[in-house]
Amino acid sequence: MNRKKNNSDSEEIRYKLIVIGDELVGKTAILNRFKNNQFNAIYEPTVGLEFQSIPILIDDQSVNLLLYDVSGHQKFRSLIPLYASDVNIILLIYDISKNDSFNNIDKWLSFLNNINKNEVIYALVGNKSDLDYNRKVKSEEAEKYAKSHNFIFQEVSAMNGDGIQELFMNKLLDKIRTQLIQKNKNLMEDEEEKLKVNLQSKDDSKKKKRKC
């Protein structure tokens, strides 16, 4: 989470989110369904990186969600650690109808070894739930994997929108809300500690003057 002063001197909270996974799993389609509630049936591959942002409101706090769509093409994978710099949320996307896309999740995670996992929200997302008749990855198997890594788990369909709101507006927002509450609590505690130190310093200064 990044905090930045805007032109009105109010503090803007930014959350950086990236989506990673194999080609053709629907990373771009998921973000497009979330942001624009649209689905483009014509496949257009992401070249390198695509960026967009969306403002959201969490308990009267304005949060700018920065969405980074990372290409799954082999030649761009070495750049993932750069794209993931200062990331707050990582969506690991697989296709429920393609077992290889699920098995490759560990490979994608290997690109993120230098990230402080304690401060990052991870979500394992199975896309194309509308293809349940051709399912290759069992929900139970994926959910077990997510739980073993302490990840959020959600199956979605970018095509018809199933699970998209549940993922972004419920599960992810709950995690962000928890982090904001803890961050604000820590800031208040820091301010209280500074105030105590200042008061103690003034008190010590007065005592020294009295002795003189």
Contact 92, 126 (CB under 8 A): no
Residue 168 has pLDDT above 60, yes or no: yes
12 — pLDDT class (breaks 50, 70, 90): confident
pTM of the predicted model as reported, rounded to 2 decimal places: 0.80
Q: At 27, list the tokens.
A: 């990373």
Q: At 190, list the tokens.
A: 């820091």
Contact 156, 30 (CB under 8 A): yes
Contact 103, 121 (CB under 8 A): no
Residue 185 has pLDDT above 60, yes or no: yes
Q: What is the pLDDT at residue 210? A: 64
Instruction: Give residue for tokens 């194309």.
Output: 128
8 — pLDDT class (breaks 50, 70, 90): very low
Q: At 137, list the tokens.
A: 């990855």
- N-terminal to C-terminal alpha carbon distance within the chain: 50
Instruction: Give residue for tokens 């599960």.
Output: 171
Residue 169 has φ and ψ, to the nearest 5°, of -90, -10
Residue 49 has pLDDT above 50, yes or no: yes
- Most confident segment among 40-44, 103-107, 191-195: 103-107
Residue 9 has pLDDT above 50, yes or no: no
CA distance 142 to 137: 7
CA distance 25 to 29: 9
Q: What is the pLDDT at residue 106? A: 94
Residues 6+ apart with CB under 8 A from 172: 89, 121, 123, 152
Mean pLDDT taken over the chain: 82
- Most confident segment among 48-62, 100-114, 128-142, 194-208: 128-142
